[in-house]
Structure 1
Amino acid sequence: MPTHNHVLTTTAQLGQILQASRKSKKWSQAQLANKLGLSQSRVSHLELHAEELSFAQLIKWCAVLGLELSVGLRETRAEQTLTDW
């Protein structure tokens, strides 16, 4: 199974990734909500307003969808150029 890593810089991007991951499993918002212990309307809201997710909610959401979080130092443009060679 291919691995897709995404560098996120906005909460809107996070919401899009969460939504796309749910859809890739062919789960409705209601199905995901059931697994998370939330309402369907709350899942819908959080996919559009990911900035409102608590860290604990985000970790649980990722676990349910089979995602992992990674935090690291951002490369500067010069470092990116060197590693691209």
Structure 2
Amino acid sequence: MQQHNLVLITSPQLGQILQASRKAKKLSQTQLAKRLVLSQSRVSHLEKNPEQLSFAQLIKWCAVLGLELSVGLRKSPAEQVATDW
């Protein structure tokens, strides 16, 4: 399996990555919800509003989808943009 890193700058990007990763694993929202001990409607809401995820929820969500988090400095000040956080 090819490994690549995705850079997040805004919270909507996180929701898109979580949703795309779920779909790549061929999991429905209901299937993912069962693994996360959440309702399907809550999974849907959090995919659309990822800024409402707690850190613990995000870590568990990533574990279920086979993702990992990494934090680092941006390569240059020119790459910095205003965030919606």
TM-score normalised over the length of structure 1: 0.88
AA in 2 matched with 1:39? S
Aligned-residue CA RMSD (Å) = 1.1
The AA in structure 2 aligned to 1:42 is: R
Q: Distance in 1 between matches of 2:4 and 2:52?
A: 24
Query: Helix, strand or coil: the match of 1:30?
Result: helix
- Do residues 14 (structure 1) and 19 (structure 2) align? no
Identity level (%): 76
Aligned partners of 2:46 and 2:62: how far apart in 1? Answer: 13
- Tell me the secondary structure at the aligned position of residue 72 of structure 2: coil
Please list the CA deviations of residues 39-62 of structure 1 after superposition, one character each: whole Å capped at 9, or x if unmatched: 000000000000000011000000
**1:75, CA displacement in angstroms?**
1.0
Instruction: Report the structure number with the largest CA radius of gyration.
Output: 1
Give the number of the structure whose residues are more often helix, by fraction.
1
How far apart are 1:21 and its partner, in Å? Answer: 0.3
Spell out, residue by residue over 1:7-38, the C-alpha distance to the aligned partner (whole angstroms, 9 max, x if none): 00011000000000000011100000000000
Q: How many residues are matched?
A: 78
Tell me how far 1:4 sits from its aligned partner: 2.1
Unpaired runs of 5+ residues, structure 1, are 79-85
Q: Which residue of structure 1 aligns with residue 2 of structure 2?
A: 2
For 1:41, what is the secondary structure of its paired residue? Answer: helix
